[in-house]
Amino acid sequence: MNAPDEPRSPEGGLFEGNLLLEALDTNDRALLAPYLERGHRARGTVLFRAGEDVSHVTFPLNQTTVTLVSRMRDGRMVETATVGHEGAVGGVVSNGYLPAFSEAVVQVSGSVLRLDAERLTRARAASPSLRDLFVRYADCLLAQVLQSVACNAVHPIEERCLRWLLTFQDRLGTPVLPVTQEMLAEMLGVRRTYLTGVLGALQRRGLISVRRGQITILDRAVAEQSACECYGKVRHHFRTVLGAVYAESGAIVAVDPTRRHDD
């Protein structure tokens, strides 16, 4: 990142709102800036579906949040990862223009930056530092997916629910989450009527408050203690590998994005 007293590059404002892009140095920004397209994505927008070629990389800005889901033949879907201003979706692990395995759905509407996947591939080939940053982010994204699989298999629904809400809060940076019960039930792969009972139990414990169209985390510290271990493990992995930490407020703040794995 630029030092506080270092002049900002002309395109500096273009990268604001996404920590992955903000972590790039001036030279790496120059490789991407001419090809980034800003746009707005409404809630429910599908960025790509399973089986479709992934042609673009999408960088959520600020509170924009995208969920990667696996959809079953009967129409049900289960969340495998949630991505916000700390990262990107599409062509991150691969070089793009390969069939997607999952579906990417916008959960919180807002601004995004979009980049042709081929452009990112060329930039990574031209810059070892940019390639290293995206390799480390891909590692963190994969860790989130793998831990989500383990979590869905072995942990009680109450703990899974808190993990999801805490992860969502990290992406938004606010305790008031624009989450409907229907949306949360879909992400957790359970029936809404069943989830209503789960949320009621968490509310009686003083951990959350449920209102129409929103859920508020009332006591984050206790919620973290009550959630399954998966939340803390993924947060620790981001901190260790990518150099990003989840602040106590729930926001993700950049630390040293150039730090190597073995530092």
Predicted confidence (pLDDT) per residue in 109-145, tens digit: 999 999 999 999 999 999 999 999 999 999 999 999 8
pLDDT value of position 93? 67
Q: Choose among 71, 69, 56, 59: nearest CA to 22.
A: 59
Is the alpha carbon torsion for 158, 60, 81, 52 positive or negative?
A: positive
The model's confidence at residue 76, banded by pLDDT at 50, 70 and 90, is confident
Find where tokens 């008031």 sit: 176
pLDDT over 90 percentage in the chain: 56
pLDDT digits (tens, 9 = 90+) for 214-228: 999 999 999 999 999
Q: How confident is the model at residue 99 (pLDDT cuts 50, 70, 90)?
A: confident
pLDDT digits (tens, 9 = 90+) for 143-190: 998 998 898 889 999 999 999 999 999 888 888 999 999 989 988 888
Mean predicted lDDT score pLDDT of the chain:
84
Cα–Cα–Cα angle for 108, 42, 145, rounded to 5 degrees: 45
Q: Which residues contact 219 (CB under 8 A, 6 or more apart)?
A: 206, 207
Asked if the model's pLDDT at residue 246 lies above 60, the reply is no
φ/ψ (deg, to 5) at 150: -65, -40
Q: Which residues pair with 77 in a beta bridge?
A: 71
DSSP state of 191: -
pTM comes to: 0.83
State whether the Cα torsion 177-183-186-190 is positive or negative.
positive
Q: Could you tell me if 198 and 158 are in contact, meaning their C-beta atoms sit under 8 angstroms apart?
A: yes
Give the Cα separation of 64 and 163 in Å (integer): 19
Output the six-digit token pair for 104: 């990417």
Nearest to 80 by CA among 173, 147, 178: 147
Per-residue tokens: 19: 């920590």
CA angle 110, 85, 56 (to 5 degrees): 75
Which structural domains are found in the chain, ordered by start?
12-152+230-254 (2.60.120.10), 156-227 (1.10.10.10)
- Residue scoring higher pLDDT (96 or 6): 96
Lowest mean pLDDT among 71-80, 105-114, 249-258: 249-258
Tell me: pLDDT of 260 over 60. Answer: no
Each residue of 26-60: pLDDT tens digit? 999 999 999 999 999 999 999 999 888 888 999 99
Q: Show Cβ contacts of residue 242 under 8 Å, excluding neighbours closer than 6 positions.
A: 136, 137, 139, 140, 257
Give the bridge partners for 217, in sequence order: 208
